[in-house]
Structure 1
Amino acid sequence: MAFIEDGIDLDASDFAASVPLKKVPNGDVFEASRAGDVERLRYLLESGVNVNARDQWDSVALYYACLAGHLDAARMLLESGAICSEHTFDGDRCHYAALNLKVRKLLKAFEARPPPLAPLQAALRDTFLSSPANRSFYDLSDTDFHLPGISSTQGSSRGYFPPDVVFIVHGRPIEAHRVILSARSPFFKKKFETDWKDRSEVRLPREKLSYPALYSLIHFFYSDRLEIAVDDMEDLVRICKVCNLESLQKILEKEVIHQKYAEYKALKDVDNSQKRYILQGLSLPVEDRLPAALHLILQTALSNSTLGNGQDDAVDKLIAGIGAMKMGRSIDDLADVCVRVDGKNFRCHQVVLASRSEYFKTRLLRMKDFHEGEDELYLDLLPCIEEHDLSTDAFEKMIEYMYTDGLQDINPDQAEEMFDVASRYLLFPLKRAVADVLLPHLEMVSPEELCHWLILADLYGVFKIREYCLDTIACNFETFADTKEFRAMLLTFPPPSGDSSLRTTVPSMPGSDLKSDQGNLLDDLREKWLEIEAAELDERDESALQFDKRLEMLMLVAEQEKSDNSEADADGMDDLKTLGLSPDSTLISGDAERTVIS
């Protein structure tokens, strides 16, 4: 298949390695890239290795793949977020070191096209750009450099959530939220605890302070992606120094030197105001990225959530706060909302809840009073909302995901409630996060339990678990066919379609990936079984018919077992009636038992 973009033409033959491949089963990401070992490279990237990490020679993995001419390895790195913009330090090294023209073509195809943001970063970025003030400056920039998924024609009010602080720089506003800035920068955290504690508007009068540089930094705080004009990079370095952002400052200083002294033959007629520098958050240490920063804030808020829950203390605070109608004393978590779940008060942050869940955004925007419910007690003078039919453990797991985009672990017994929570609170990516944590557990469950998980996954639309269960059943079909639970489960699903034209899945070559949407479960099971059996294409309809007949036999057995169970239950009822007992009577030993029987 050809890859054609902006005059760049690559086909499958171009992905043959220019240097002989070798396996490095224990190699790191740099060795795997240099050797062209795509299997090892895929394993490392799926394990969470930083694709833009540097080795002791200050080189990234993409540089070695380009140097050795491994087109397939280079493409894998680029698709995982490796930076290749021609006017960046790493991008230029890759372009100049590329072994052949094919590699350069590939780099040009991916140039300045960062991968989609993760759900957390994308949600917070949308909140930042939904502000009319922030959006207006964004729309002034060259549309060629706009981030994926954002259209300049979208209304700025879409998804808008009010800021709690506005910075005025040279008469131009930047709207933001205290908790995001405090989580990312010690400088902002200290300022919000002292000089800017009660201020909703902060004017920064410094003449040398660059509005575009500060805007790019605050945008980076929300999205974990820095996008800035080369002309503004030196100003941003100075701001990073003031804000104590050491890791970001070091990267930018190196780029500034590169921008000053490198010769850009391809861009010699383009001034620096038209050149953009893009930096992924993955280039920073883990502790300096957005999820880690918000996780720290969350842990502080959760520890504070257990404080001040005594009734007398809460009443005293309520009496002392009557008439004040404002947030009380500030503590180090910067919480601005209390969520009450099953009698426990959780200190949270409105911008995170509203950005991640349309449900919470609607509730918070419509919240008029400081607390709901007649018996609600004031907690630290925070506005408070109450959630029902939800356990505290499930809520903690939900906000862990909302703040960090991940889950450390989860009790399998919680899974069903978590799937329900994801649906109720419109947090659909949470289902995938729960599935990722559960999959290792599913490798050890019995066939009977796996049937339960398949029903659950199909009910809640958890595609990853559904596919895993279907794959396992298809590989061990006869083992599952011998279990009563599997046969009973077949009766709960619509029957498979007999005609191949009516199937929800299109027959594919054996071993190919299934790329259809979730449809008839038994149709999907049939297709997976056919792939495993490696049925020839001209025999697939006949094999599918045999599989359907096998399912029909199992369903007949299940119907008979269901009938036998019903008769057994009926006989048991008759026996109880013969003894003069109702079905829900409780027999007691001794004299009481004899009295009941008589």
Structure 2
Amino acid sequence: MPPNRPSSGWIIDPDLDEIDLDPSDFTSSLPLKKVPNGDVFQASRAGDVERLKYLLESGVNVNARDQWDSVALYYACLAGHLDAARMLLESGAICSEHTFDGDRCHYAALNLKVRKLLKAFEARPPPLAPLQAALRDTFLSCEANRVYLEQSEAIYHVSGLSSSGVSNANHFPPDVVFFVQGRPIEAHRVILSARSPFFKRKFKTDWRGRSEVRLAREKLSYPALYSLVHFFYSDRLEIAVDDMEDLVRICKGLSLPEEDRLPAALHRVLQSSLARSTMQQNLENDVDRLVSSFDVVHMNDCVDDLADICVRVDNKIFRCHQVVLASRSEYFRARLSHMKDFHEGKVGLPSDAVPCFEEHDLSMEAFEKMVEYMYTDGLKDINPGQAEEMFDAASRYLLFPLKRAVADVLLPQLEMVSPAELCHWLILSDMYGVIKIREYCLDTIACNFETFADTRDFRAMLLTVPPPSGDSSLRTTAPSAPGAALNTDQGNLLDDLREKWLEAEAADLDKRDESALLFDKRLEMLMLVAKKESETVVDDIQDSPA
């Protein structure tokens, strides 16, 4: 797994084995360029790490191919841009030999320093998905777990990992501690119960209500059990060869599901909690019978769902799990860590009910979709009418990857919308910074520009957005002055539309500035028409009888 990246910048892992690079090696083999509106392939070839960082953080597929069947890493290696190649590798770019993309990158590498970088990353596993990464951070933020990782040379050499990127800011306290051979492993009941029937049964019987469990020394190996619990949180097995036999013996005794993974396991937990939430709501409303056969079938499974927090949203109560909410959202981690004995929203609940708090200005449908994403890393479907509320919720609850998940579900639905609706989605995606939808809308409008220009909704939209800057330095073909600062803010909508249109029209490179000016004049004409249409509408309203 790539090292954790600090928010302030991308720094190469100092613990990379045998890379043997000097500071002078970070100078590029080919001159760096700035491509403010370039795609991931252009940014990689130009060595524009600021643009590349923006694209990768926006959710661009790091292993996507262009029309020449090449990936971004290939271009970075071909041009000898070490920093760009490293950024792509940390984001999961494939570089293993004996794979199509990996071999091309190795053979195309311009110099030895790039080959060394590829070798250093070659044996590393790809980065974890957001759910697994978040829960792994929670597991390692527990002091005992972090100390063992830091002290264990065996695990370090096997995984190439370091816990240095995990801070106390990610800490969420465990609710159970296992002592094996005198050493602690800190964990959370709901994660272990979701992953293993053995733990689920034990927490309902022998270990019920216990915060500490001491296991017989002769039966268990601490490193093996630690690796197994880490696997439950991360879906990644990291263990020294010497401990593998002990791990196999433990797994046989636990009867682990063969093809189960963390998102599927937590999805079952979520279904159980939502079912019991429905039953609890029915009891509050004095409903004498369960509302569906699903509740009857699953009632026994829902009796002990290990929920330890209730969230009341729009008069509905959701049974949730603090460790999942805290791991996925800094907002919930801060709220759960700094408040105790929640009494908000407990009106009408039994006195022994789990703690409860309320969330306002949010529909229960949106909250249910939000927790679906937090537990499973995905969304099955979404009503387009919910999108704006979901984008807003993603920002409010510091759950920014949720925007990308909503966009993934919505994009297929946008293929059939009208020009007026597409203009609405463009404005909405620009407002909330939803890059995938914004790019799709711009591409569609650029490829069908005259069709949109003939629609009144598009012309009206032109009056609501900032006019094009007309600054030629923002265009992808204009060279930047040496040392010039790059504006990394999201680009002007009409500037970006102009660039998309120039790409779609395949304008000659030496005529792009002239073509761009023609495009700007066309926009000016359309805005004049839109102003007249707007004035006509106002006059009609004023002249209409009261």
Give the 5 Å matches for 1:479-498.
479-498=451-470
Equivalent residue number for residue 205 of structure 1: 216
SS at match of 1:307: helix
Alpha-carbon distance, 1:154 to partner: 4.7
Equivalent residue number for residue 81 of structure 2: none
> CA distance change for structure 1 residues 290 and 535 in 2, over 3 Å: closer, same or farther?
same
Query: After the TM superposition, which parts of structure 1 deviate over 6 Å for at least 4 consecutive aligned residues?
Result: 76-84
> CA distance change for structure 1 residues 356 and 6 in 2, over 3 Å: closer, same or farther?
same
- For the 8 Å contact 1:240–1:246, the answer to whether it is kept is no
Alpha-carbon distance, 1:558 to partner: 1.0
- For the 8 Å contact 1:475–1:529, the answer to whether it is kept is yes
Residue 396 of structure 2 corresponds to residue 424 of structure 1: yes
Which of 543, 552, 576 matches 2:524?
Answer: 552
Give the 5 Å matches for 1:28-67.
none
Distance 1:499 1:312 in 2: 63
Distance 1:334 1:438 in 2: 33
Equivalent residue number for residue 151 of structure 2: 140
Which of 308, 316, 319 matches 1:336?
Answer: 308
- For the 8 Å contact 1:135–1:156, the answer to whether it is kept is no
Distance 2:352 2:278 in 1: 12
Distance 2:237 2:526 in 1: 58
Distance 2:272 2:351 in 1: 16
1:205-243 deviations in Å (ceiling 9; x for gaps): 232411111111111111111111111111110111111
Equivalent residue number for residue 56 of structure 2: none
Which of 442, 449, 461 matches 2:421?
Answer: 449
Equivalent residue number for residue 223 of structure 1: 234
Alpha-carbon distance, 1:313 to partner: 7.0
Alpha-carbon distance, 1:566 to partner: 1.5
> CA distance change for structure 1 residues 116 and 446 in 2, over 3 Å: closer, same or farther?
same
Alpha-carbon distance, 1:370 to partner: 3.7
> CA distance change for structure 1 residues 387 and 458 in 2, over 3 Å: closer, same or farther?
same
Equivalent residue number for residue 477 of structure 2: 507
| Higher-Rg member (1/2) | 1
> CA distance change for structure 1 residues 557 and 156 in 2, over 3 Å: closer, same or farther?
closer
Give the aligned residue type for 1:203. R
Equivalent residue number for residue 521 of structure 1: 493
Total equivalences in the alignment: 441
Equivalent residue number for residue 116 of structure 1: 127
Distance 2:93 2:247 in 1: 23
% same residue: 70
- For the 8 Å contact 1:131–1:156, the answer to whether it is kept is no
Equivalent residue number for residue 406 of structure 1: 378
- For the 8 Å contact 1:302–1:347, the answer to whether it is kept is yes
- For the 8 Å contact 1:308–1:379, the answer to whether it is kept is no
- For the 8 Å contact 2:196–2:256, the answer to whether it is kept is yes
1:312-370 deviations in Å (ceiling 9; x for gaps): 879xxxxxxxxxxxxxx993321111111111111111100010011111121223224
Equivalent residue number for residue 535 of structure 2: 563
1:480-501 deviations in Å (ceiling 9; x for gaps): 0011111111111111111302
Distance 2:149 2:238 in 1: 11
Give the aligned residue type for 1:481. A
Alpha-carbon distance, 1:373 to partner: 4.8
Which of 175, 178, 182 matches 1:171?
Answer: 182
Equivalent residue number for residue 252 of structure 1: none
Give the aligned residue type for 1:334. L
- For the 8 Å contact 1:496–1:548, the answer to whether it is kept is yes
SS at match of 1:368: coil
Which of 288, 305, 322 matches 2:277?
Answer: 305
Distance 2:303 2:217 in 1: 29
What is the CA RMSD across the aligned residues, in angstroms? 3.6
Distance 2:93 2:231 in 1: 16
Distance 2:66 2:423 in 1: 32
Give the aligned residue type for 2:276. N
- For the 8 Å contact 1:165–1:201, the answer to whether it is kept is yes
Equivalent residue number for residue 50 of structure 2: none
Give the aligned residue type for 2:212. E
1:66-97 deviations in Å (ceiling 9; x for gaps): xxxxxxxxxx999978897xxxxxx9x99xxx
Distance 2:539 2:343 in 1: 55
Distance 2:280 2:166 in 1: 42
SS at match of 1:563: helix
Give the 5 Å matches for 1:265-280.
none
SS at match of 2:179: strand
Equivalent residue number for residue 450 of structure 2: 478
- For the 8 Å contact 1:371–1:378, the answer to whether it is kept is no
Equivalent residue number for residue 371 of structure 1: 343
- For the 8 Å contact 2:392–2:432, the answer to whether it is kept is yes
Distance 1:350 1:185 in 2: 19
- For the 8 Å contact 2:141–2:167, the answer to whether it is kept is yes
Alpha-carbon distance, 1:563 to partner: 1.3
Give the aligned residue type for 2:181. H
- For the 8 Å contact 1:300–1:332, the answer to whether it is kept is no
Give the aligned residue type for 2:378. G
Give the aligned residue type for 1:545. L
- For the 8 Å contact 1:338–1:379, the answer to whether it is kept is no
Distance 2:378 2:157 in 1: 29
Distance 1:564 1:378 in 2: 62
- For the 8 Å contact 1:83–1:114, the answer to whether it is kept is no
Distance 1:434 1:445 in 2: 17
**Structure 1 gap segments, 5+ residues each:** 12-37, 43-75, 85-90, 248-284, 315-328, 510-514, 577-598
> CA distance change for structure 1 residues 185 and 361 in 2, over 3 Å: closer, same or farther?
same
Give the aligned residue type for 1:529. W
Distance 1:548 1:519 in 2: 16
- For the 8 Å contact 2:150–2:162, the answer to whether it is kept is no
Distance 2:158 2:377 in 1: 24
> CA distance change for structure 1 residues 399 and 386 in 2, over 3 Å: closer, same or farther?
same
Q: Which sits farther off after the overlay, 536-545 or 300-309? A: 300-309
Give the aligned residue type for 1:426. L
Alpha-carbon distance, 1:568 to partner: 1.6
1:107-150 deviations in Å (ceiling 9; x for gaps): 845433111111101110111111111100111134864868x7
